[in-house]
């Protein structure tokens, strides 16, 4: 699970570094993204969260990931988004 989080963050950081959508990547963006992923994982693994809340959190995280990986090159962007969605899907099925 820990390595899936690192892979997800690595893919997002790589996409933002190579093809930043909003200019130069901000200095603290990777740390903020790491905190978001950790908080999301904690919320998704809580036993008290209902299935509706878990689905909403996951869809929000996918939307955030897709927005943060927008790249100027369409092929690279599509490839990166496919990898990120695969990591998110595998981490959801693992729980």
49 vs 74: which has the higher pLDDT: 49
How many domains are contained in the chain?
Answer: 1
Extract the tokens encoding 65.
């990931």
Query: Who's near 83: CB < 8 A, 6+ residues apart?
Result: 11
Give the E-state strand segments of 1-95 in sequence order: none
pLDDT tens, position by position, 53-85? 666 666 666 666 655 554 444 445 555 666 666
Range of the domain at 37: 2-94
């Amino acid at each position: 699970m820990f390595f899936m989080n690192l892979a997800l963050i690595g893919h997002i950081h790589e996409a933002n570094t190579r093809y930043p959508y909003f200019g130069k990547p901000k200095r603290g963006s990777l740390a903020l993204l790491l905190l978001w992923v950790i908080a999301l994982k904690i919320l998704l693994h809580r036993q008290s969260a209902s299935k509706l809340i878990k689905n909403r959190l996951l869809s929000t995280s996918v939307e955030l990931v897709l927005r943060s990986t927008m790249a100027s090159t369409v092929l690279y962007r599509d490839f990166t988004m496919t990898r990120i969605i695969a990591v998110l899907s595998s981490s959801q099925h693992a729980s």
